[in-house]
Structure 1
Amino acid sequence: MEEQIREIVNRLTLQEKASLCSGEDYWHTKAIERLGLPSVMLTDGPHGLRKQKQSKDFSGGSYEATCFPTASCLAASWDRDLLRRVGEALGEECLQEDVGVLLGPGANIKRSPLCGRNFEYFSEDPFLSGELAGALIQGVQSKGVGTSLKHFAVNNQESNRMTIDAFVDERAMREIYLAGFERAVKKAGPRTVMCAYNKVNGTYASQNRLLLTQILREEWGYDGVVVSDWGAVSDRVAALKAGLDLEMPGVFPENDQAIVDAVRSGELDESVLDEAVARLIKLILQYMANKADGYRFDREAHHRLAVEAACEGAVLLKNEDGILPLKKGMRIALIGEFAKHPRYQGAGSSMVNPWRLDNAYDQAMTLPNASDITYARGYDIRTDAPDRQLIEEACNAAKAADVAVILAGLTDDYESEGFDRIHMRMPPAHNVLIAEVARANPNVVVVLCNGAPVEMPWIGSAKAVLELYLSGQGGGTALWKLLYGKANPCGKLAETFPEKLEDCPATAWFPMGPKGVEYRESIYVGYRFYDKAGVKPLFPFGHGLSYTSFAYSDLVIEPEKTDENGILNISFRIRNTGSMAGKEIVQVYVRDVESTIFRPDKELKEFAKISLEPGEEKEVRFRLDRRAFAFYDTHSKSWQVESGEFEILVGASSRDIRLSGRVRIEGTGEVDPAVWDKREPLPSYYHPKPGCNIPKQEFDALYGKPVVHPPIHRKGTFTPDSTINEIRQVLAGRIFYRILAAAARRMNRDTDEKTLRMIMQSLDEAPLRQLNQNTGGRIGKKMIEGLVLLCNGKRLKGLAKMLSR
């Protein structure tokens, strides 16, 4: 293929090469018909195919597809095989719809439970995130369809996501925010990697040569296409130089011309363009080789897989007195409007149009004991306020039942792409309902439908809590399988559930802004902080109960001493000690017993999901390599192991360690450990405390220089990178915004309310340069330049520029 690619590159004109580096419209690459190169469709995922019915912009409906559980639920399965099979199904649906690249999975770290897009991401832990993302990628690409690992990198909030500058120290970037991407890239080789909107340490991700070329390509050996997030490119030539191949969407003809002009002037070496074009041609040829005209996937099989995935990802958080599984003959009060109008996915670009949707109420009515199940609405999903009449009806239903099953969680207004949550609370209507029903009947089972952690002020009153997450189109069927024990809950949390928002280490600096955000907590994300600082979570990372029980025994670690290049072999036995078949997720953590550099208390390094019949016992084996004991050394710019003792911890969660042993690892000796000792300038990082109050001077010392936030753009300093919100400081900007907002509402009048809110929020925070893409080319580059002049007080020049279009 390489020879064929080079031949095609040599036959392309300069203008054609430049044209390939941007899209034809919102979803397609450009075709070169004279050479037989077709356009390729890239479309949204990652938990289902969202193929729009038109290609001009984001508005308009999408074709029906299977809606699988979102990443938050899939991650809780801790099941590589399941993720691969879901990926295969997604690949098959892409083949049917002639989609060349599915835009997913998302591997960004869950820095804070408030990120509005957390439902699309896997975990707070990079090892788990990278393994699961890699498995999904392998599944999709096994069908000949490409994927797009996103959003690269340090993209952990929705607030001001298009312009925010993420200030993160080098160790945290390498160990936390890049490690998952690295694992997925090396494990699965996604055909594309999507760069993020935001800046990383002062440079837009789309123009960040350190990220896109030095790390991604040169260090990790990535040879696929780097594509921009939609509208993420600020400077097209600078982005190409940095390693960005494809700009999407591509409605700026001036950007193609800018590449041509840069080559002709000598600013851009044509060989750089040729390399990008070669990668794009490879993507096109891969699409052509795997195109499957007339392909049809098995919808029923995919639905069954969606139900299975929902079962596997559900987490039994609490089960007091063994109230679950429900017993035959019990009278059930099914409470909560989610039972009839389920919250099964998040809002935004990943919102799938499911061809089928199982809700809990309808599925209950198909059960043999349907006559034992009564329904009460409980709350109105359109409002947060408690409704006394609905609560009274729910309490009466609960009094007449043996068990009350309440479906509650977060409504669509609480979490979505485009904006972050402002607290961890559920709607008051849900919290009040649970508390009052529990007084009416103490046998309460709470089923949570949410994409991220929530506070649970009623936790002491609930006998059982089942975290269903956003469980896709099969969630209603999966729920009853789980409640009645037809399926044994086997999911475990891929993120910590703190008791309250103030316990989260990033809270003081999330989302920060409007132009910059400091990652002062550094490597202490999720359980790495809670365990180190001794903060008790509501439910720890890796937690999940079962209807059966498991015993761990016979840990063997070989050899007892190894050098830093050696492989450590671990084995132990696990037995199902209960009376029901089940699956246990075993987790292996590593602790550096005594380190010179600051490190977490423990870090996840391996895991497996083991299926066991009652009384069955299996041996579990793992191999840990050098990287499992290493940290990123900013002095040598490499992964280093410090000589000393390490503990191997085998557990059922990060707080439930069942087996442990020690091994001595020898380091390389290439670096004097004394250079790692920063106890004096960085005491808060060696001994983090509850609240994670890191002084600025310590973060500046860790970062390597004082962190200075970019200034807010004001009159006289506006540029195309200024946001709509910034230009509203001046009259011309306010008038323009009113016109634009009205037009956006008209254009999206057929769009659902959830998506419209995301669009309007994104519009407010969008840089002016995005207006071209966001309006399908209706607002051109000259109009944007004229608007900038106008808002800067240069009225005549601005009007002249706008009229010249």
Structure 2
Amino acid sequence: MNILIPKLKILKITCSCVLFLSLLMAGVANAQHSLNNGNQEEKIRSLISQMTLQEKVSLLHANSKFYVSGIKRLGIPEWALSDGPHGVRAEINRDDWAYSGWTTDSATCFPPGTALAATWNPELAFKQGLVLGEEARSRKKDVLLGPGINIIRSPLCGRNFEYLSEDPLLISRMAVAYIKALQSKDVAVSVKHWLANNQETHRDSINVYMSERALREIYLPGFKAAVTEGGAYTVMAAYNKFRGDWCSENEYLDRQILRKEFGFKGVLMTDWAAAHTTVKAALSGLDLEMGTDKKDYNEWYFADPLIKAVEEGKVPLSVVDEKVANVLRVMFKTKMFDEGSREKGKMNTPEHRKAAYNSAVEAAVLLQNKGNLLPIDFSKIKSVAVIGDNATRKHCSGGLSSEIKALYEITPLQAIEQKFGTQVKINFAQGYEKQSTFKEGSNGGQANSDHVDWKLIQEAVKVARESEVVIIFGGLNHDFDTESFDRQNMDLPYGQEVLIQEVAKANPNTVVVMVAGSPVKLAGIVNRVPAILWSWYGGMEAGNAVADVLSGKVNPSGKLPFTIPVTLDQSPAHALGNYPGKDLKVNYEEDVLVGYRWFDTKKIQPQFPFGYGLSYTGFTLDSFSTDKKSYGQGDTIHAKFVIKNTGGRYGAEVVQLYASDPGSSVLRPEKELKAFQKVFLQPGETKIVEMQVKVRDLAFYDETKKSWKVEAGEFVMQLGNSSRNISKTVKISVR
């Protein structure tokens, strides 16, 4: 479904009047903004001048798991934080990790990060941000910890499901929409994890090294967009080290880049227990310490030790004042000093549930559909076999910091029974069962998950033979996709590959639905079954969404936000032996060739490429052109094309615009994503679509000059619907 942000109605008046009024309104708005900011900064200075050193420091560290002290005598409220990349987490006890047992903290659970990115629809990210902001305020939260925007570098990273993509542009567009919407509800986001948290293995000790070019072109853009375009109020420092220094006390990252280059004036906080020192962290730009593993909060690095460091002259008082100002600034921006005008919030409304459904249904990626087995016309069949543990497993409550106490969660089997159970005989078989065990910080439980249960397989084969169509729900669960450790391999666990092969022998009309947030090995099944649908962790509406896609009520429009390799050793970090590192050090030797940049440049055929996804209808792209053939360095390229829905169903195509620089003086990726647009079309409908790319966005980072560089010469603009399916190209020159 196409979710559109409401448009304002504009009166028809003369161009000169429009220009005058626009300038006048812009002037008034800018003046008002400056006045408000001036007043706000004056209030901040006044509050700081009235504080004792002890009071100042009390604002810079937690006083419980998710709260920071207020100063009652000055009217400064306690600060309430909550986990919540895709839903507001249930209430935790103040001083331990046990749940508080509330009956009023069930929340709307959205599909997590990779699923959101798979929609390629920033409007859905915006809607999700609005819902999360409303529910956070309803729960009296001031900061929501998310979004997670680290690059998906390895298929094995345990937090891939929380993150968005392997591509910085897709990350940026989705994150900015999410952040703007959420913060419009008077809640601060905390963009995480700053920086290079691309693996969970040794996450609290690994030392990451990468070139300056890789940093600038791949790993920084999402964070830069989040701060400079999205206006993120807080940023969360990662656990790992970067070039020898912890991210929470990294002068280059925290002072030079975040503060000076990005102009960040908000709060830089630690991830939980990611603080290591007092003086160095204070001087490097850290503002807020959270989650340190000491029972006495006064012993934390930014508590009594910080007071002592100031008294001994090791940390200037002005540095403490700067941190307090950053905290107060976020409080003012989220209207914490004006509760009367602050968003009151609401929980679990029909609109919230609809938003969760829309995200889940647009995320589904149709990977394979030989013989057009999908969609299934349930009115024309008498029986269907539903097989697999993921047909009945709920996932919202897994993943550690992503755990959501969902208001409800519809499983695929529930949805199929509710929608089609009166007209079709539904034969269920377990097929496989969860053999793994979960222990935080250890992936040892995964080692026992490859047992093939032939008894369950035989039961599945029996129901497959008795049914006209088979739907197998396989993939992963949050014993694999989770914070705190990485997967051991890309294999499907629990003997699923054997199950799928045996069932497909018994009934060729077999659809496989993959529930997972990270790439899995599909080489053993792609030639055994005609249809594969990737449905992710679908949140509370998971079952309804996947049932509606399978039945054709909704046409799938999702696209892969990452590359699915044939084998793990195709993936760049693993091909070069740079995962998980050696002696607690990892070198990103693949440099800027991450994800599809590696596969396309090295001419390696993946299982399924970045940006890929099929539809139940067809689309054509024609008349691709640019407004000029030659551009200056400060110009904008206006690319235009015609798209047509050539099939018989309403649907959406994600058109992707890539750029190549074949004459570059440095190694550049074979192509890089520069723009995309999700276009919804009725059967037979045609639209003219324009995309814009600034010439400066064709630049690479010149390490010798420490600046961005667009070399004069020829560039190729490439239009397609995946990184491997380019249908039109146009050559341009840059002067």
1:472 matched to 2:526? The reply is no
1:271 equivalent in structure 2: 318
CA 1:76–1:246 in structure 2 vs 1: closer, same or farther (change >3 Å)?
same
1:595 equivalent in structure 2: 664
Tell me whether 381-390 or 127-136 shows the greater mean CA deviation: 381-390
In 1, the alpha carbon distance for the partners of 2:344 and 2:186 equals 15
CA 1:479–1:272 in structure 2 vs 1: closer, same or farther (change >3 Å)?
same
1:217 equivalent in structure 2: 259
The one-letter code matched in structure 2 to 1:59 is: A
In 2, the alpha carbon distance for the partners of 1:634 and 1:558 equals 32
Tell me whether 381-390 or 516-525 shows the greater mean CA deviation: 381-390
- Choose which of 562, 576, 585 in structure 1 pairs with 2:654: 585
In 1, the alpha carbon distance for the partners of 2:560 and 2:420 equals 32
How well do the aligned residues superpose, as a CA RMSD in angstroms?
1.5
| TM-score normalised over the length of structure 2 | 0.88
1:124 equivalent in structure 2: 166
Shift of residue 358 of structure 1?
0.3
1:4 equivalent in structure 2: 43
Shift of residue 282 of structure 1?
1.5
Shift of residue 345 of structure 1?
6.5
Equivalent positions of 1:161-560 (< 5 A) are: 161-249=203-291, 251-254=296-299, 255=301, 256-285=303-332, 286-289=334-337, 291=339, 295-327=345-377, 328-330=379-381, 331-343=383-395, 346-370=398-422, 371-382=424-435, 384=449, 385-456=451-522, 457-507=524-574, 508-560=577-629
Give 3-state SS (helix, strand or coil) of 2:318's partner: helix
Q: Is the 8 A contact 2:634 2:696 kept in 1?
A: no
CA 1:539–1:352 in structure 2 vs 1: closer, same or farther (change >3 Å)?
same
Give 3-state SS (helix, strand or coil) of 1:64's partner: coil
Shift of residue 9 of structure 1?
1.1
1:566 matched to 2:605? The reply is no
Give 3-state SS (helix, strand or coil) of 2:413's partner: helix
Q: Is the 8 A contact 1:116 1:158 kept in 2?
A: yes
Shift of residue 298 of structure 1?
4.1
CA 1:88–1:212 in structure 2 vs 1: closer, same or farther (change >3 Å)?
same
In 2, the alpha carbon distance for the partners of 1:544 and 1:606 equals 17
Shift of residue 346 of structure 1?
4.4
Which digits, 9 at most, give the CA deviation of each residue in 1:535-583, with x for residues without a partner?
0000000000000010001112122111211111111111101000001
Q: Is the 8 A contact 1:168 1:518 kept in 2?
A: yes
1:147 equivalent in structure 2: 189
2:36 equivalent in structure 1: none
In 2, the alpha carbon distance for the partners of 1:346 and 1:121 equals 15
The one-letter code matched in structure 1 to 2:465 is: K
In 2, the alpha carbon distance for the partners of 1:549 and 1:369 equals 31
Give 3-state SS (helix, strand or coil) of 1:365's partner: helix
1:734 equivalent in structure 2: none
Give 3-state SS (helix, strand or coil) of 2:502's partner: helix
The one-letter code matched in structure 2 to 1:329 is: K
Q: Is the 8 A contact 1:329 1:369 kept in 2?
A: no
Tell me whether 187-196 or 241-250 shows the greater mean CA deviation: 241-250
Shift of residue 645 of structure 1?
0.5
In 2, the alpha carbon distance for the partners of 1:363 and 1:439 equals 27
In 1, the alpha carbon distance for the partners of 2:338 and 2:490 equals 45
The one-letter code matched in structure 2 to 1:312 is: E
Percent of aligned pairs with the same residue? Answer: 41
Shift of residue 13 of structure 1?
1.3
The one-letter code matched in structure 2 to 1:64 is: S
1:663 matched to 2:710? The reply is no
1:101 equivalent in structure 2: 143
The one-letter code matched in structure 1 to 2:362 is: E
In 1, the alpha carbon distance for the partners of 2:641 and 2:344 equals 49
The one-letter code matched in structure 2 to 1:18 is: V
Give 3-state SS (helix, strand or coil) of 1:312's partner: helix
Give 3-state SS (helix, strand or coil) of 2:608's partner: coil
Shift of residue 343 of structure 1?
3.9
Which digits, 9 at most, give the CA deviation of each residue in 1:601-655, with x for residues without a partner?
0100111111100111111111111332101111221111111110001110000
Give 3-state SS (helix, strand or coil) of 1:241's partner: helix
In 2, the alpha carbon distance for the partners of 1:209 and 1:571 equals 44
In 2, the alpha carbon distance for the partners of 1:306 and 1:382 equals 30
2:37 equivalent in structure 1: none
Which digits, 9 at most, give the CA deviation of each residue in 1:661-717, with x for residues without a partner?
011113xxxxxxxxxxxxxxxxxxxxxxxxxxxxxxxxxxxxxxxxxxxxxxxxxxx
The one-letter code matched in structure 2 to 1:374 is: N
Equivalent positions of 1:37-76 (< 5 A) are: 37-60=76-99, 63-76=105-118
The one-letter code matched in structure 2 to 1:262 is: A
Which digits, 9 at most, give the CA deviation of each residue in 1:100-121, with x for residues without a partner?
0000000100000100110000
Tell me whether 286-295 or 177-186 shows the greater mean CA deviation: 286-295
Give 3-state SS (helix, strand or coil) of 1:249's partner: coil
2:70 equivalent in structure 1: 31
Shift of residue 289 of structure 1?
4.7
In 1, the alpha carbon distance for the partners of 2:206 and 2:420 equals 55
* Unmatched segments (≥5 aa) in structure 1: 667-805
Q: Hey, which bits of structure 1, 4+ residues long, moved more than 6 A? A: none
Shift of residue 225 of structure 1?
0.9
In 1, the alpha carbon distance for the partners of 2:59 and 2:335 equals 15
1:652 matched to 2:721? The reply is yes
CA 1:57–1:290 in structure 2 vs 1: closer, same or farther (change >3 Å)?
farther
CA 1:166–1:323 in structure 2 vs 1: closer, same or farther (change >3 Å)?
same
Which digits, 9 at most, give the CA deviation of each residue in 1:311-334, with x for residues without a partner?
000100001011100023222111
The one-letter code matched in structure 2 to 1:288 is: M
Q: Is the 8 A contact 2:396 2:403 kept in 1?
A: no
1:641 matched to 2:641? The reply is no
In 1, the alpha carbon distance for the partners of 2:619 and 2:345 equals 44
2:129 equivalent in structure 1: 87
Shift of residue 56 of structure 1?
1.0
Q: Is the 8 A contact 1:24 1:249 kept in 2?
A: no
CA 1:132–1:643 in structure 2 vs 1: closer, same or farther (change >3 Å)?
same
Which digits, 9 at most, give the CA deviation of each residue in 1:472-498, with x for residues without a partner?
111111111001111110000000000
CA 1:290–1:79 in structure 2 vs 1: closer, same or farther (change >3 Å)?
farther
In 1, the alpha carbon distance for the partners of 2:183 and 2:338 equals 10
Q: Is the 8 A contact 1:147 1:191 kept in 2?
A: yes
1:16 equivalent in structure 2: 55
Which digits, 9 at most, give the CA deviation of each residue in 1:765-793, with x for residues without a partner?
xxxxxxxxxxxxxxxxxxxxxxxxxxxxx
1:767 equivalent in structure 2: none
Q: Is the 8 A contact 1:343 1:450 kept in 2?
A: no
Give 3-state SS (helix, strand or coil) of 1:151's partner: strand
Give 3-state SS (helix, strand or coil) of 1:288's partner: coil
Shift of residue 290 of structure 1?
6.6
| TM-score normalised over the length of structure 1 | 0.81
In 2, the alpha carbon distance for the partners of 1:345 and 1:646 equals 48
In 1, the alpha carbon distance for the partners of 2:65 and 2:420 equals 49
In 1, the alpha carbon distance for the partners of 2:155 and 2:461 equals 31
